[in-house]
Amino acid sequence: MKLNINNETSRLRAVVLGTAKSNGPIPSIEEAYDPKSIEHIKAGTYPLEEDMIKEMEAVANVLKKYDVKVYRPEVIKDYNQIFSRDISFVIEDKIIIANILPNREREIDAIEHVWALIDKESRIKLPEECHVEGGDVMPWNEYIFIGTYTGEDYPDFITARTNIQAVNAIQELFPHKKVKAFELRKSNTNPKENALHLDCCFQPIGKDKAIIHKNGFLVESEYQWLVDYFGKGNVFEITKEEMYNMNSNIFSISEDIIISEQNFTRLNTWLRQNGFTVEEVPYAEIAKQEGLLRCSTMPLIRD
């Protein structure tokens, strides 16, 4: 397989879509990775496996409708494998295997059948001290946008997933790209004050537009840089409630076709007004784990 990813929106040809099959029992609060999951565990509203399977199959059906080759992980019994973007990501013709939370490493083994299709020299494993997850990494033509957290209290945040060592390593791997890092707001306890990944508060769409949530960024000038780069009229600003519901975490099949959650009424209306075809799917149950459509898809080839 010849990998090719240069941005977030070129026509998608091949993707890894996670799976909710055999997702395991409801985790304990101690086992949860993020504040939104903890909130739903405490409330007794944590999503049911059967509902999440239906949601993911709705996405698989949309991808097939547009002739996208869809790869799925091998199912590991009683194991959460929904968020395929966390475990690896593609930039140009390289796949970078993430150093993720240690208790999630089996997820990497479950897509061994995909690695086997990729030339060994195109598979990159970053040094152990580089922490990174694909939700923080966005190739955007000459840029690579990366969400990070560089505070001294980084080790205290289970929600801090990408460190500055990974940012530097990616810059070394792609010296011809401009790597632009953004400090994200982190909270282990309040999902409305936590940008788990960059795609939880920002995502480019189309050729020149973006969805953004200002409070997800710790440094106002970094948020402002993005608004200026895309142009204020091209930016859809989402509220704290919309960020909490993961409105920025949609997924582009092409520059004019987007998969979005069916309840994102304000966003989906704006997208259609701006010429996008919006394929609406139910994804509100999966959103309870602080991830949505971009988190559960890992593109391999775009035109």
What's the pLDDT score for residue 86? 86
Residue 110 in tokens: 């479950």
What's the pLDDT score for residue 55? 97
Question: How many whole angstroms separate alpha carbon 297 and alpha carbon 143?
Answer: 21
pLDDT along the chain (303 residues), means of 10: 98 97 89 86 93 97 98 93 92 89 79 93 92 95 96 81 94 98 90 89 98 97 98 97 95 98 98 98 92 96 98
**pTM (global) more than 0.85:** yes
Question: How many whole angstroms separate alpha carbon 203 and alpha carbon 218?
Answer: 17
What's the pLDDT score for residue 190? 85
Q: SS3 of 129, please?
A: coil
What's the pLDDT score for residue 109? 85
The DSSP symbol for 283 reads -
Domains and CATH numbers, the chain: 12-302 (3.75.10.10)
Query: What is the bridge-based pairing of β-strands 235-237 and 209-212?
Result: parallel
Question: How many whole angstroms separate alpha carbon 158 and alpha carbon 79?
Answer: 19
121 contacts 23 by C-beta, under 8 angstroms: no
What's the pLDDT score for residue 100? 67
**Amino acid (1-letter code) at residue 117:** L
Residue 70 in tokens: 């869809």
First to last CA, the chain: 14
